[in-house]
Each structure stands twice: as structure tokens, then as C-alpha cells.
A and B are shown apart, each in its own frame.
Chain A
């Protein structure tokens, strides 16, 4: 050997020659597929810790932990089988479970270790590559890292073993314990510990039951707020119940005293929807179909028109025509509202820093809440039917309009805006003559998104009585009419593809005109 410091050995320190050989073989791609690291096979996560490879440490630790938990589950069910020896059917069940867990434990342990030993040198080589670039990355072999192992082990393993070897108490028995303690009775430490550590997350906060609020009419017929305090010995409630009650009360208050506001919105939505569905549903089907196909032809060309014709044919032949037109009206109404509200909001977000800071979290929340959660407030304020369906749809489908409008505006080159300013554009002219036209492709993409998301939400809104195609699917779900459900689902898919193709092709055509 020459005196050149060998980086492989410098990196690996202990057993440097072995790792130098392995790394060189990996770099030359001559490492056999069945290469395993024997010390990793034996040492598992301890080996990984000594080598400071924390990825491998987690992999090895989790594998061994899974095996260990299965062993303790095996022990638990063995024990349970013995304890329930007088109930034959339970013994059979527990013995079956304990066997499964034992087999799982053995398989996970053996396969896991082999996998680990196979991964070990390969991932260790990756760590070496990173270390070559950044010498701050841990290298070498150090016994001091065993303290980390001990710490992790002490924090996680005992509790995991205890959790899997004991039967978790149910919530009710824990509440009973709480009451017993507050009544001054003594409770076994083990029961208390089980309730606290291995059951449901313990209820830490108990609050006095809030007043019951009602809104009776007084002698003049006006609504009043009446608070009824809870009875003397009513048990306290959890935080969740308390807050949920408060929310219910405020919604109740708003609907009772500001009902005209919500009624106004409902009226507006109903009027708008009536006008649109008068066109779609009220027109004889031949005319609607002809106009839709011709419109598709004009906007997106003959191929899309053929597709639209075929899809409409499917809907008509399978008896979904009225429902599909109903759905289309709902989509149309909510899309119009989304665009009308989303465009100015998008401009605000795109142009003002304050708008961006305010709207970004709001949009994030709107997009992450599961879609059918929107149905609840819609019902609470607007009861059931089509208007709340439209409203839930609008909330669900508006974010992409806002985001893509803002994105389009932000993508307008700074230099183009500067040129417009240099020729004396005022802010309004800058927006209407430069920014919005240049953002148009992005805005069109936003409209497409809005239409697609409206369609998917309108189907869900059938659950609160919005009707249309979604209603057929919901009905089929309730009565397990699988075939009919699938046919209706296909119809919805065709409807979606139809709209998507027309809007997309249409916007492509307008964009390519210059």
C-alpha cells in the first residue's frame, strides 16, 4: 500500500479494508446481487448507529420492533386463551391469533434482517458519497453513539411492549374511573396507568355543561334568546362537546336572527338556477342535444363534437337525460358564481401582498377540508335542496380559480409591465390591457378546473338533495343496485370528459390565435 490517504478507509475507519473493497465494487458495478453485510445482519440497528447511518438505524429498529411487538402479542393471546379456558369459543379464537402473531414475528425478523443486511452496504456507500461532498456528515465508527441507541430503546420499547401485551381499556371504563376518583374512591394503579397510557387519548379537560339555548317567541311574537342552565348534578362534558355546542348555538343564533340574509342568498341561487335549468331541462331534448353538439363543434372542432354527440346519446338512451341536464345546470350555476367571485379575488391575491397573506391560508383550508364536510354548514344555514348544494360546490371549486388567476398575473413578465408603464398606462389600463390578456391561458385553465371540480362536488351534493346524476348514484348505493350505479357513474364520467374536452380545446384554440 502506498502512503496516499485512502478516502474509503478514512471514512469507514474500523474494518476500512472491507468497506474500501465493497465501495470500489459498487462503483465498478461488480458487486454481486447476493452481497450481504454479515456484521449488519447480526448487529442490525446497533451496527447502523455505530456507523452513524440513521436511515439504516430507523429501518433496522422498526423491523426489530415489529417482530418484538408480534412476540408480545403472541404472549398476550396465549395468556388470554389460558385465562378464558372455560369459554371454548374464545380459546379457539385467541389461539388462532397467537399463532398468527408468532409466525409473523419469525418471518418479519428473518426476512427483515436479511433485507437489512442486503441494504446495509448499499446505503452505507450512499452515505460515503455524501460525505465526500460534505465532510460534516458523520463518518467512522464510534461507540459513543450507543447512548443514542440506549435512549431511543428506553423511550420506545418498554411502552410498546406493554401496549401490545395488555388489553386496552375502553373509554367508558376510564370515564367510570374518573368519576370514582372524583368521588374519593381508590382505583388500582394498573387500571389508572392503562387508561392514561394505552387507551384512547385521555380526556384532560372537563368543562361544566353549557347552558341550553333556545329561541322561543315572546308575547309580541318576536324571537328571544332563552338560556336554560343544566340541572344541578349533570356530569361535566369534554372540550370537544363544549366547543361543538358553542358552534351549534352560534349557527342557531345566526339562522334565527339573520335568517333573511340566508333566505336572500337562497332566493338568488334558486332564481339563477331556475333560469339556467329552464334552458337545459325545459328545452326539448332534441334541441338541447343539437345545440350542444353544434356548440362543441364551433368551440373545439369535429372530433370533440363527435365525442359530445356520442356521450349525450349514451345519457339519453340509458334514461339519464333529465338527471344529466339537472347536473349540468347545477355545474353551470356554480361555475358562473365561482368565476365571478374567483376572478376579482385572484386579481387581489396576484397583485397585493396583503391579499396574498390573507387568502393563502384560507385557500389552503378550503382545498384540504374533505369535500363532504362543506355539506354540513350548507345544511345548517340553508337547509337542504339545490341552493345549499350550489353553495357547497362554490366553496369547494373556487380555490383553483383564485390561485390560477393569481398565478397568471404573477407570471406576466416584469419587463412587459414596465414597458406599459413607460407608455403612460394607469393601473386599470395595465390590468385590462396587459396583465389580464397575458394571464388568459392561466385563467382559462382555472375555469376548466372550476368546472371539473364543480361537477365532482355536485355529485356529492346529491346527499343533501341537490338531485341530478348524483342522486341516481346515491339511490343505487342505498339500494345496492350495483349495475344501475355503475351506469350512472359512467354517465357522470362522460359528462366530465365532455366538458373538459370542450373547455380545454376551446381555450387552446383561442390562445393559439396569436
Chain B
């Protein structure tokens, strides 16, 4: 299945029809796939090649947090490594700020990696022989920034991730959560436009993970970094992402906002995924409300809306539940002071259950 996204002016990262086939006969296999539309298993069988990424197109807008969600082996880590060309695509293009990454010569590529893109890894991958500060300043050092400026910039970032006082420690002296803060700081030290986060919080305890997620969201709001965030955890994807792409077997199954993914899963695979997700914070009044005219026509009563509890169309189910407790009346949804819809208790309960 091909998902094509309309690309816009302010899209920072654009991935166009990218394929990655691993194996010695990758090009041959690519030809065959294009000709005969072979499946993953057929390619493995006939050419001994593994399809890592299959015709993926995405575009990420400036400042957006774009989550890529999938189980292990779905190709999400492979996909994200195409963006800074740690992996060369078998076919397709990657544009960053309109520049085709595949056209860059090695030096320009290194420059782009150091200046434009920061990356955070699941296993931190810190350098054990360097202090926290030197780890954070690594990208700057590679670009030849002098030691004084390096230390200054690194200390600034250390403050951002609340690691004050740990600059002169070695990574092995830090806990897992703190090490990942160092990883995050290292990615942001050179002030890149784009952050690639490869399951950054997956290896951490749930409590520490949640704390780091919140901190990252806060940082992200203030610094407006375009972020590609990889996770295998749908809860995390929903918490973090402005949009989510769900991957399976190297393909993108569905792209959408968290609400779209949860309320309108495109197939059984996605709906199985979202089955256990609480809708309270994801579904909003405008989705569940009945237009005011339809409600009047159906109930055939004149409305005395003064007694009705009132809410806006952007309020989530959680807020509506709070309003409707101990109330006989349905909720009136108002926009700019004008009533536009009604949410009855029944509709609310059905929405919480995930029925439409």
C-alpha cells in the first residue's frame, strides 16, 4: 500500500517512496519487486534479501513531533537511519529543508549530521572514556569548535536537561535515566533543527520514562525542534506525537493524529493496537456531539439550555465526564458563545467505550 502525503513548503523532513532491501542481490530484488510486486516473503525466498523498508513516504512539518510506531522488526529504526543516511536507501529520496540527502558528498553529509540533526539512541551509546560534558560536546568537537566555547555550550545544555553538577562525572557513574538525559543533551548541544529519537526511553523504568517524556515535551514546546520519535509503545506515541505513523513489515499502515488513529483505525492491525487505549484524553467534544439542529429535530422539545452544563468543542471526554456527573441534563457544546451541539450521557458512554 502506498501512502502519499502532500508536501508543503514548511516540511522539514520529506521522505519520498523510500525502499530499503538488505542483501547482496538488493538491486536485482528491487527490480523484481517493482515489476512483479513481490511480497516480503517472496523476496526472501527468491533473492535471499530482506525488505527493511517498503515504499515509505512521510513528511514532517517544522516543529512537529512525528511518532513512528511499530513492533520490533517493523523497520522503524531502519527508516529513521535513512534520514541522516546512516543507511543508504535502495530507492527513493530523502529531503531535508529541500536538500536531497543522497546528493551530499561525504564532507557535506558529515556537516549536515553535525549541525542539522541530533540523534538519541535507545542504548544511549555514550562514550565511556569521556566525561558527561565531553560527551555532550562531542558533535561540537567533531566540527572543530574550540574547547572554551564547547564547554560553555555544553554547560548550557546540561542546565536544560537538569544535570547541573554532573558535567565532570563519567557516564558509568550515572543512572540509566540520567545517562539518557546526557544522550538527549548531546543530541541538542549543536542546536540542530531536527531530532531523531530511536526509542529513547524504552530501556528505562516506567516512572523515570514518564518523567523524561514530560520533560522532553516541555523542552520541545520551548525549543520547537522537528522531531522524529520512534517507539514501540502506543501510549508513548499518543503522549508525545502530534502525528503518528504506524509501521508493519516495513510499510506504513496508517498516518494520522492520535485521535484519528484511535477513533478511526484503518484496519484490524491498528484497531487491535488501539483496543486497550483509553479514549478519555484523545476524543474531543466535536467528534461525539450531535449537531444542535439534529438534536432539536430528534427530541422535538424546545430547549431550555440555561441549565445545561456547557463545554467547548475542543474539550476532551475526560472534561465532559466531570461536567456530566450528578447532572440530569446533557452537555451543551458552545463555540464562540453560540450553541453548536449536544452530547448526551449515552453518547458520552458510547464514545468512552470506543463505539461511534
Contact = CB atoms under 8 A, between A and B. Distances in A.
Interface of A: 413, 415-416, 418-426, 429, 433-434, 437-438, 440, 514
A424 B125 contact: no
Nearest to B140: A423
B129 A415 contact: no
Contacts of B117: 422
Contacts, number: 64
B28 to A, nearest CB: 23
26 contacts: A415-B121, A418-B125, A421-B113, A422-B113, A422-B196, A423-B113, A423-B114, A423-B118, A423-B139, A423-B190, A424-B111, A424-B112, A424-B113, A424-B115, A424-B142, A425-B142, A426-B106, A426-B110, A433-B127, A433-B141, A437-B127, A438-B127, A438-B129, A514-B128, A514-B129, A514-B172
Given A423-B114, A423-B186, A415 B123 contact: yes
Given A418-B86, A514-B128, A424 B123 contact: no
Contacts of A413: 125
A423 B86 contact: no
A419 B113 contact: no
A423 B112 CA distance: 9
Nearest to B171: A514
B110 A425 contact: yes
B119 interface: yes
B84 A422 contact: yes
B22 interface: no
A429 B172 CA distance: 23
B170 interface: yes
Contacts of A425: 110, 142
B125 A416 contact: yes
A424 B143 contact: yes
A419 B125 contact: yes
Nearest to A418: B86
B229 interface: no
Contacts of A418: 86, 121, 125
B314 to A, nearest CB: 38
A413 B143 CA distance: 23
- The interface residues of chain B, by DSSP majority, are classed as mixed
Which has the most chain B C-beta neighbours within 10 Å: A419, A425, A426?
A: A419
Given A422-B119, A514-B170, A415 B125 contact: yes
Contact of A422 (B86, B115, B128, B130): B86
Which has the most chain B C-beta neighbours within 10 Å: A416, A418, A420, A424?
A: A424
Contacts of A416: 125, 127
Contacts of A426: 106-107, 110, 142
Nearest to B122: A415
A416 to B, nearest CB: 5
B181 to A, nearest CB: 15
A424 B128 CA distance: 19
Contact of A424 (B126, B139, B186): B139
Interface string B122-158: 0101111110000000110111000000000000000
Given A415-B121, A415-B123, A514-B170, A421 B86 contact: yes
Interface string B170-201: 10100000000000001000100000100000
A423 B113 CA distance: 5
A429 B127 CA distance: 13
Contacts of A437: 127, 129
Contacts of A422: 84, 86, 113, 117, 119, 196
Contacts of A420: 127, 138
Which has the most chain B C-beta neighbours within 10 Å: A418, A423, A514?
A: A423
A454 to B, nearest CB: 28
Contacts of A440: 129
A420 B128 CA distance: 13
Enumerate the 9 nearest inter-chain pairs by beta-carbon distance, A residue then B residue, closest first. A424-B114, A419-B125, A424-B113, A423-B139, A424-B110, A422-B119, A514-B170, A437-B129, A415-B125
A510 to B, nearest CB: 10
Nearest to B172: A514
Contacts of B113: 421-424
A79 to B, nearest CB: 69
A81 to B, nearest CB: 73
